[in-house]
Amino acid sequence: MMKTPDRKMESNDVERDRTRAIGAILVEQGRLTVDDVKEIQQYSVANGIRFGYRAIRLQKLSQQDVDLAIAQQFNYAILERGGRNGVSDELVAGYLPQSEMVEPLRALRSQITLRWVNSQERNTLAITSAGRGEGRTWLAANLAVVFAQLGRRTLIIDADMRNPRLHLIFNLENAVGLSALLTGRAGREIVTRIHPQLRLFVLPAGIVPPNPQELLGRPVFDLVLNLFADQYDLIIIDTPACTAASDAYILSARAGAAVMVARRHHTNQTDLTSAMLNMTQAGVNIIGSVMTDF
């Protein structure tokens, strides 16, 4: 993973990979040796079979190795799952984008794009829910991924400074984040780019402060959003649950628009109705609601 405060590192990031052979990519990744590539190529050409198929038959590569290399060749990022450098199992849109589980996320992306994105001066969207454990953070993270896969420069902000989780999903350090930015102890450099082939950037919550509601209510938060709005096509804000604190209402009002998340057989109907009413009274445009089985 890499950090970047601006767009400079994006131009022609991976243009060279589009014309490179899959073998060269795998050698660079350390998954094959040059001799391995020669052996596989000779057999593949002589027998008319694909390079990746032969490499798997020889047990030199796994199917995941081949998929990752092909994705890089076609400038389509597939994130590593688990381990020291991989993302959480929850980020299915990142490590398994072909999965049927991701199609509803793409459908939601299409609905948001058609009904809301590009109609706003500042494309900032809060993802919120009435209670905890309803899949709010899961949806925010995966939705950010599918928007980035569309080529949109996307920033996701963990504004849940009571129970932050985005750093766990993206496997990031959380020592410095939004709380430091709002108190002037850090700058834009704390935003992390997740993958060089994916225009996805994450701002974790950072150290949990003793006064999250006061920090989020300060005018500086609006200044931060305006600053980022000039740099990103879309900003997604992961908020705390509405029943946990009034932070969610402050954040959604600052964003101007929100998606309300509910969980099947879990969300309390009274809490959900109350949250949506409070959002409306705060002037928030609830552009839609999502039911999860999270």
Of all helices (H) and strands (E), which one includes residue 155?
strand 154-158
What is d(CA 285, CA 10) in angstroms, rounded to the nearest whole number?
A: 33
- pLDDT digits 0-9 by tens, 255-286: 989 999 999 999 999 999 999 999 999 899 99
**How many residues are there in the chain?**
294
To 5 degrees, how large is the angle CA 109–CA 68–CA 12? 75
Residue 18 confidence (pLDDT) above 80: no
- pLDDT digits 0-9 by tens, 19-57: 468 888 888 878 899 999 998 988 888 888 888 888 898
Structural domains present in the chain? 2-73 (no CATH), 92-292 (3.40.50.300)
Name the pLDDT band for 116 (thresholds 50, 70, 90): confident
Q: Which residues have C-beta within 8 Å of that of residue 237, sequence separation ≥ 6?
A: 124, 125, 126, 127, 140, 156, 157, 159, 251, 255
Name the nearest CA neighbour of 184 among 158, 223, 151, 128.
Answer: 223
- pLDDT digits 0-9 by tens, 65-82: 887 777 776 667 889 899
Q: What pLDDT sits at residue 114?
A: 86
Query: Do 54 and 40 touch, CB atoms closer than 8 A?
Result: yes
